[in-house]
Structure 1
Amino acid sequence: MSDFTTAFAKEYKGFMVAAGLDGQTVAKKLGRSTAYVSERVNGKRALDTEDVDALAMLVGGGWTGRTLMIELARRARAHELEELPENVGGSVHDQLPHFGKIDVAALRQSGVALAADERGGFEEEQEAKQELP
């Protein structure tokens, strides 16, 4: 399993537990065994859209499979960013050449909160909030 798949499963499980749900409840909603759910929330097998749709329906509160999928992916990616080495370069630069080197330590130290903008870059969080409708 990829690091992202494992992180996504961890976020799914955390969301499930925070909503007061257990594997048995989710399994029943899916029409699957508790072993099926356990393998997925523990990162042994990948979750699919049906798994996310079922959790969204159980949680309610306006969540849809799509919005929950996006939120869980966002949280999983956020954890990956927190785990970046102090000075990212090399392999990240190869994958995202427009970023060059990102000095993560300097960003953390300055207290700058970053948000993705429409262009795929970053801007300060306050500017991002001002642009919201």
Structure 2
Amino acid sequence: MSLDDVRLVPLPVRSDERGSLSFLEAGEHVPFEIKRIFYLYGIAPGQNRGAHAHRELQQFLIPLAGSFEVRLDDGRKKATFTLDRPDQGLYMPAGIWGDLYNFSKDAVCLALASLHYSEEDYYRNYDEFKAVYGA
């Protein structure tokens, strides 16, 4: 996979005088079967999350509240995305190094994952990741 496979995905919005509702469906908005859901919140100022890549796992990140930035690296190219809209998610295929940072005080990041947790799926050492995916 490469950064060319990463994409921002608009989510449907239904709004009326009561407020707004957004939704997503596996296979429609999320290109994988969802096996795990987790969320990040209460991130102290200046703290980062992520700093790893996955061998097989795909992710879909949604900023439910606040904002944060996602720096991605496929071993050859880098790109940064600002996530600040709950009606838009970021699809990350396997083989992409990701760093989440610059969290606003009220940030909540919902993460949908294609696999159950397995430590063996992680690259936690950037040099090891770069040796596999770098040009």
Q: Shared topology, TM-score over 0.5?
A: no
Pairwise TM-score range, normalised by the shorter structure: under 0.3
Highest relative contact order (Cα 8 Å, sep 6+), 1 or 2? Answer: 2
What TM-score do the two structures reach when normalised by structure 1?
A: 0.24
Q: Which has the higher strand share?
A: 2
Structure of larger gyration radius: 1
TM-score by length of 2: 0.24
